[in-house]
Structure 1
Amino acid sequence: MREILQELFEKRAQQFVANHRSPKDYFSKAERKLESLAKRSAEIVKVKAAGRIIEKTNEEEFQSIRYNAHYQYLIKQKGNLYMEEEVEERLAKFYKETLIMDGEIKPVENGSLHVGDSQPFIADNHDRLSFQYNRLKAIQYAERWWNSYNPAYKKFENDCTNFISQCLHVGGAPMRGYPSRGAGWWMQNHNWSFSWAIANSLRLYLSNSTIGLRAKQVSSPDQLVLGDVICYDFEGDGRFNHNTIITAKDANGMPLVNAHTYNSRMRYWAYEDSSAYTPNIKYKFYHILD
């Protein structure tokens, strides 16, 4: 079965390279990605796909394998090359060692943590907490931990906002508001504020905070710089459910981002190739202030 999965990886990888596409086995993820690349005059010149088995289960003649598929795309844009990476969790099912199903396990952003989305942002009256945001440290942290988890922090099943909060904190943003979960932005003593770990709550915090970690909302992604944050409302229903941090710019000066849950490195900011993408998607762009 490992051999079957490896054959799948190799076949899937070829679908991202235009010269090797076959209409009969062309699949939507590759199509979305290639369309997104074409819009910005970019192309994939080489792709590698590898897998790591997470869990196996057996039931009589059926076997299920949950695994991670790690893609590496070498992208060329206006003569420049850069490497984008992403990891997706997948489930393969076999009957009598014959593959009968293989599909992506789509994460549900913030899962049970949605309870916090209804919590209002609570301002406090402390004096302003001054700090200098070290963007380089934040980016270095995002690069180091984009596909793994720092044991110094609590890990969430849906980890995108926790990861961004860690990046901001390592960059020098001060925690505040403990122990009120609805106030400030903090993680301490195995507990955390809603804004630390919940996508929509961090978005509200960045929109309203006047002390400590603060941000200015701008109108377009090209106005952001490295270390800034993008918030995503995939369904366009007003509840933001994903966050990323900018770690690079492409040849057009547009953001490339790192993220958790959909573990990604130097991914194009618009997420048009994501399984979570919908035509109703909305974004908010936040420039972090010192």
Structure 2
Amino acid sequence: MRDQLHELLKKRVQQCVSHSRSSIHTCPKIEKKKESLSGRSGEIVKAQATGNVIRVGQEKEDVTPVEYRVHFKYLIKQKGIFYLEEEIEERIADFYKGVFVEDREKNPFKDSKKEEVSSDRVFEEEERYEYEYDRMKAVQYAEKWWNTYNPAYKKFDVDCTNYISQCLHAGGGPMRGYPNRGKGWWMRSGNWSYSWTVANSMRWYLPSSNSGLRAEEVSSADQLLIGDVICYDFQGDGRFDHTTIVTGKDASGMPLVNAHTYNSRMRYWAYEDSTAYTPNIKYKFLTITDDQ
């Protein structure tokens, strides 16, 4: 099975830099990434993939599922500028009597809304927390921990907003509101506020906060600076599923983002190649403001 998965990854790498779609194992996600890049005058000029098996499932009707993780690296050229994008995929491959049949990417956001128990809006205290947001420190933290987890914080299965909160705190955003989970923005003593860990709560908290960490909503992605935040409502149903932080810009000045849950760095902000993407997707673009 490992040898077959190795061959599959080799074909995926070849697909990244090929203009042909003739392979029976063509990955739709890679084609979406290439199409998105083409629309932005970009292309993948080199790709690399390393994988490891996480778990071999129980055989059922001669089919054995194998969970595996892949670390992709894409060297992207856009308008003469090069940058490196990286992402981690968690996938499940099915083997019929030991022969590879098909595989699919796990969707970490599928059931994320079931885990939310918070109210959307967070009540505010009248306090003053003066701080100056250090965007570079926030980005440095985002780069350091994009594919690992700081042991000083709790890790979640859906970890995207927890990771973004850590980045914002590294940039100087002050915690406040402890121990009320429905107030402020904090993680302390093994507990945390909804706004720290839940994407939909952070989406409401940042632009409504009147003290400490706060943000202003802007109308388009190109208005964002490094260290700013993008919120994603994949289904377009009004409840936001995902949060990213801007860590760079592409050759056209559009944001590249880092994220957890499916860990990625320098990924194009629109997430058009994500398995969670739908035509109904909605975004919120939030620029962090100082409180002085």
Structure 1: give runs of 5+ residues left out of the alignment.
Answer: none
Task: Report the CA distance between 1:23 and its aligned residue.
Answer: 5.6
1:277 equivalenced with 2:277 (yes/no): yes
CA-to-partner distance for each residue in 1:257-287, whole Å, 9 max, x for gaps?
Answer: 0000121110000111111111111111111
8 Å Cα contact 2:120/2:200 also seen in 1: no
Match of 1:12 in 2: 12
8 Å Cα contact 2:203/2:231 also seen in 1: yes
Match of 1:115 in 2: 117
8 Å Cα contact 1:119/1:182 also seen in 2: no
Same amino acid, percent of matched pairs = 60
Match of 1:87 in 2: 88
After alignment, is 1-10 or 99-108 more displaced? 99-108
For 2:82 and 2:181, the matched residues in 1 are separated by 44
8 Å Cα contact 2:120/2:204 also seen in 1: no
Correspondences of 1:167-246 after superposition (within 5 Å): 167-246=167-246
Whichever residue aligns with residue 108 of structure 1, its letter is F
Total equivalences in the alignment: 288
Task: Report the CA distance between 1:21 and its aligned residue.
Answer: 4.0
Correspondences of 1:144-163 after superposition (within 5 Å): 144-163=144-163
Task: Report the CA distance between 1:39 and its aligned residue.
Answer: 1.3
Task: Report the CA distance between 1:219 and its aligned residue.
Answer: 0.7
8 Å Cα contact 2:109/2:276 also seen in 1: no
For 1:23 and 1:91, the matched residues in 2 are separated by 20
For 1:71 and 1:284, the matched residues in 2 are separated by 27
For 2:263 and 2:139, the matched residues in 1 are separated by 15
For 1:12 and 1:169, the matched residues in 2 are separated by 37
Whichever residue aligns with residue 117 of structure 2, its letter is V
Match of 1:52 in 2: 52
After alignment, is 266-275 or 107-116 more displaced? 107-116
8 Å Cα contact 1:113/1:198 also seen in 2: no
User: The residue matched to 2:130 in structure 1 has which SS?
Assistant: coil
Task: Report the CA distance between 1:34 and its aligned residue.
Answer: 1.2
Match of 1:76 in 2: 77
Match of 2:104 in 1: 103
For 1:73 and 1:45, the matched residues in 2 are separated by 8
1:132 equivalenced with 2:132 (yes/no): yes
Whichever residue aligns with residue 66 of structure 1, its letter is E
User: The residue matched to 2:7 in structure 1 has which SS?
Assistant: helix
CA-to-partner distance for each residue in 1:101-147, whole Å, 9 max, x for gaps?
Answer: 3111111263543111x343111122x10111111111111111111
For 2:115 and 2:8, the matched residues in 1 are separated by 35
8 Å Cα contact 2:113/2:241 also seen in 1: no
For 1:238 and 1:2, the matched residues in 2 are separated by 42
Match of 1:63 in 2: 64
Whichever residue aligns with residue 207 of structure 1, its letter is P
Structure 2: give runs of 5+ residues left out of the alignment.
Answer: none
8 Å Cα contact 1:14/1:21 also seen in 2: no
For 1:25 and 1:68, the matched residues in 2 are separated by 18
Task: Report the CA distance between 1:50 and its aligned residue.
Answer: 1.4
CA-to-partner distance for each residue in 1:134-166, whole Å, 9 max, x for gaps?
Answer: 111111111111111111100000000000000
1:143 equivalenced with 2:143 (yes/no): yes
8 Å Cα contact 2:122/2:183 also seen in 1: yes
Say what the alpha-carbon RMSD is for the aligned residues. 1.5
For 1:239 and 1:111, the matched residues in 2 are separated by 8
Whichever residue aligns with residue 227 of structure 2, its letter is G
For 1:246 and 1:64, the matched residues in 2 are separated by 36
For 1:93 and 1:111, the matched residues in 2 are separated by 28
Task: Report the CA distance between 1:45 and its aligned residue.
Answer: 0.6
TM-score normalized by the length of structure 2 = 0.94
Match of 2:37 in 1: 37
For 1:33 and 1:59, the matched residues in 2 are separated by 33
For 2:131 and 2:126, the matched residues in 1 are separated by 17
Q: Segments of 4+ in structure 1 off by > 4 A? A: none
User: The residue matched to 2:16 in structure 1 has which SS?
Assistant: coil
For 2:282 and 2:188, the matched residues in 1 are separated by 32
Task: Report the CA distance between 1:26 and its aligned residue.
Answer: 3.0
For 2:114 and 2:147, the matched residues in 1 are separated by 22
For 1:252 and 1:95, the matched residues in 2 are separated by 46
